[in-house]
Amino acid sequence: MSTVTNSSLATRDLQHVWHPCTQMKDHEQQPPIPVRRAQGVWLEDFDGRRYLDAISSWWVNLFGHAHPRINSAITAQLPQFEHVMLAGFTHEPAIALAEELVRITPPGLTRCFYADSGSAAIEVALKMSFHYWQNQGQPRKRVFVTLSNSYHGETLGALAVGNVDLYKGTYAPLLMDVLTVPSPDCYGREPGESWAEHTRRKFSLMQTALERYAEDIAAVIVEPLVQCAGGMRMYDPVYLSMLRAACDRYGVHLIADEIAVGFGRTGTMFACEQARISPDFLCLSKGLTGGYLPLSVVLTKESIYEAFYAEFIAQRAFLHSHSYTGNALGCAAARATLGIFFNGPVLETNERLAAHMTQRLAPLVDHPHVSDVRQTGMIGAIEFVRDKATREPFPWQERRGQILYRHALERGVLLRPIGNVVYFMPPYVITPAEIDLMIEVAVQGIDRACA
Ligand SMILES: *Cc1c(COP(=O)(O)O)cnc(C)c1O
């Protein structure tokens, strides 16, 4: 009798499965790793090897894999029903989740529109903003402003407002035009300049764009505090307060994409809280279901909702739909995930874990190939370069990050560098000893990658 092994599954996989964000030919060297089970921060493959999931399975997982509370919420919902359409029908999981989200998100966000992925939530927010201005008799307002190096997903609308060339370059001819403003990303700050000073200085470029083009602008879209897919580049909350004030002044919507940074990642439940602002649209996904099921939501304000509310024949309704909108199992997983936040001192625990991470990352500042060590809450990142003094990066063709990736897997840690940035975004149930392991392996990996 043949037994199932990594290699037997990888062989079958490569017959038919086309993987995301992958040059499939790479798998000739490094076959995909089949996961047999996952528990807490650990993944286990079919050869019995374990991997510490230091990146929360692409940033979705908050409280570890196979969490008993989320497991039982889904199994409790299952015998009731799995999914019904949300047009004309409704259900308690979707209602209760909306109530809870309105309660915990920044003030003024009272309306929840569900979708099924982060990208879909971005499409919803863009269409809603545009459509709002149409309904208000301001059809000129249809331009979106985005920051350089931003990422908002990979469907065509989301890709258009993003700015990472790796994802966007090839498809650029298909995408709508947007107005791109330089990011406040603090990697580019002058020597001796603080994050806040740099961030303020960069805001003047946004100010100029808004002043000049406000009549044509529907909304500004940002990833609050951390540009994650853009290499975990970070900036000071002051940008968000200045942006909120300017959007109000110029009559432009503010879309906050907290798909990656929401739910405690940056130290507060939502990153916008650190600037004490409420956006006009708040996009959430990833951690929303604790990493269990695809679900997303766009929250918006009453005044925006009201601009769509009219007799049917007025043709003002927002007629956007996805088949799995408001999936009941997803909503049940999301409610259980929020339940974990309500049940214990999650943010306080994270603060201690983040402080531990800070302490362990500190010595890396002196590493001969490290140009920057940065952290916001439970996101840490190390940027490695060829030349520390000039910050000249290694040529991307050398794929140094791959060396680090393979080294980490050998040592039982899943790290997936973005170019020459190795980052940590672990589930909140990681222990200090596991943080030590994750960083130790990363440092060895940097040494090997830079050799
Ligand atoms: C992941 C991500 C998205 C896209 O979400 P998907 O579910 O992958 O479509 C959008 N914005 C940000 C900031 C993200 O990190």
For 281-335, what is each residue's pLDDT tens digit? 999 999 999 999 999 999 999 999 999 999 999 999 999 999 999 999 999 999 9
Q: Where residue 60 sits, what CATH number does that domain have?
A: 3.90.1150.10
Q: Look at the pTM and tell me if it is higher than 0.95.
A: yes
Does 16 map to a domain? Answer: no
Atom 8, ligand 1: which residue's CA is nearest?
Answer: 118
What's the mean pLDDT in 144-159? 98
Q: Mutate which of 152, 221, 327 to test ligand 1's pocket (most atoms within 8 Å of Cβ)? A: 152
Count the domains in the chain.
2
Question: Do residues 235 and 243 touch, judged by C-beta distance below 8 A?
Answer: no
Q: Who wins on pLDDT, 167 or 285?
A: 285
What's the mean pLDDT in 90-110? 98
Atom 7, ligand 1: which residue's CA is nearest?
Answer: 118
Contacts with 427 (C-beta within 8 Å, 6 or more apart), sequence order: 40, 41, 53, 56, 61, 62, 63, 64, 65, 291
151 lines ligand 1 (CB under 6 A): yes
149 lines ligand 1 (CB under 6 A): no
Q: Which pLDDT belongs to residue 203?
A: 98
Atom 6, ligand 1: which residue's CA is nearest?
Answer: 118
352 and 329 both lie in a single domain: no
Ligand 1 atom nearest 155 alpha carbon: 9
- pLDDT tens across 373-422, in order? 999 999 999 999 999 999 999 999 999 999 999 999 999 999 999 999 99
Torsion over CA of 251, 253, 254 and 259, rounded to 10 degrees?
180
Within 10 A of 425 (CB to CB), how many other CB atoms are there?
A: 24
Atom 11, ligand 1: which residue's CA is nearest?
Answer: 152
Mean of the per-residue pLDDT values of the chain: 97
Within 10 A of 129 (CB to CB), how many other CB atoms are there?
A: 26
202 lines ligand 1 (CB under 6 A): no
Distance 414 CA to ligand 1 centre (A): 20
- pLDDT tens across 205-264, in order? 999 999 999 999 999 999 999 999 999 999 999 999 999 999 999 999 999 999 999 999
Task: List, in sequence order, the alpha helices (H) in 214-316.
Answer: 238-250, 302-306
Distance 266 CA to ligand 1 centre (A): 16
Confidence of residue 166 (pLDDT cuts 50, 70, 90): confident
124 and 149 both lie in a single domain: yes
55 and 124 both lie in a single domain: no
- In the chain, the amino acid numbered 85 is M
285 lines ligand 1 (CB under 6 A): yes
Distance 4 CA to ligand 1 centre (A): 34
382 lines ligand 1 (CB under 6 A): no
Does 18 map to a domain? Answer: no
Distance 284 CA to ligand 1 centre (A): 9
Domain boundary among 297, 326, 342: 342
228 lines ligand 1 (CB under 6 A): yes
User: Does position 165 have pLDDT exceeding 90, yes or no?
Assistant: no
- pLDDT tens across 333-362, in order? 999 999 999 999 999 999 999 999 999 999
Nearest of 91, 134, 123, 128 to residue 111 by alpha carbon: 128
289 lines ligand 1 (CB under 6 A): no
CA–CA gap between residue 281 and residue 122 (Å, rounded): 10
User: Does position 138 have pLDDT exceeding 60, yes or no?
Assistant: yes
- In the chain, the amino acid numbered 316 is R
Element (H, E) at 256: strand 253-257
HSE-up of 205 (CA within 13 Å, CB side)? 15
306 and 410 both lie in a single domain: no
CA–CA gap between residue 11 and residue 387 (Å, rounded): 40
Query: Which domain covers residue 104, as residue numbers?
Result: 71-342
What's the mean pLDDT in 124-131? 98
Q: Which pLDDT belongs to residue 285?
A: 98
Element (H, E) at 59: helix 56-59
Question: Do residues 316 and 306 touch, judged by C-beta distance below 8 A?
Answer: no
Structure tokens at 424: 């940590």
159 and 193 both lie in a single domain: yes
Distance 260 CA to ligand 1 centre (A): 7
Q: Which pLDDT belongs to residue 2?
A: 66
Distance 3 CA to ligand 1 centre (A): 37
For strands 253-257 and 413-414, give the pairing.
unpaired
312 and 388 both lie in a single domain: no
CA distances from 212 to 48, 66, 206, 326 (A): 60, 51, 10, 39
Does 178 map to a domain? Answer: yes
186 and 206 both lie in a single domain: yes
332 and 376 both lie in a single domain: no
What's the mean pLDDT in 145-155? 98
User: Does position 127 have pLDDT exceeding 60, yes or no?
Assistant: yes
Q: Who wins on pLDDT, 55 or 166?
A: 55
Q: Where residue 219 sits, what CATH number does that domain have?
A: 3.40.640.10
Nearest of 102, 376, 337, 340 to residue 223 by alpha carbon: 376
Does 26 map to a domain? Answer: no
Question: Do residues 418 and 430 touch, judged by C-beta distance below 8 A?
Answer: no
Contacts with 236 (C-beta within 8 Å, 6 or more apart), sequence order: 184, 186, 194, 195, 196, 198, 199, 200
183 and 266 both lie in a single domain: yes
What's the mean pLDDT in 12-39? 97
Domain boundary among 289, 318, 342: 342
Distance 283 CA to ligand 1 centre (A): 9
Question: Do residues 122 and 157 touch, judged by C-beta distance below 8 A?
Answer: yes
User: Does position 1 have pLDDT exceeding 60, yes or no?
Assistant: no
Helix (H, G, I), strand (E, B), or coil: what is residue 380? strand
User: Does position 275 have pLDDT exceeding 90, yes or no?
Assistant: yes
Atom 5, ligand 1: which residue's CA is nearest?
Answer: 118
Q: Mutate which of 57, 116, 119, 324 to test ligand 1's pocket (most atoms within 8 Å of Cβ)? A: 119
Give me the residue label for tokens 């879909």.
Answer: 120
Helix 328-343 vs helix 68-77: angle between axes, to the nearest 10 degrees? 140
306 and 215 both lie in a single domain: yes
Question: Do residues 411 and 441 touch, judged by C-beta distance below 8 A?
Answer: yes
Ligand 1 atom nearest 261 alpha carbon: 13
Ligand 1 atom nearest 227 alpha carbon: 13
CA–CA gap between residue 292 and residue 119 (Å, rounded): 17
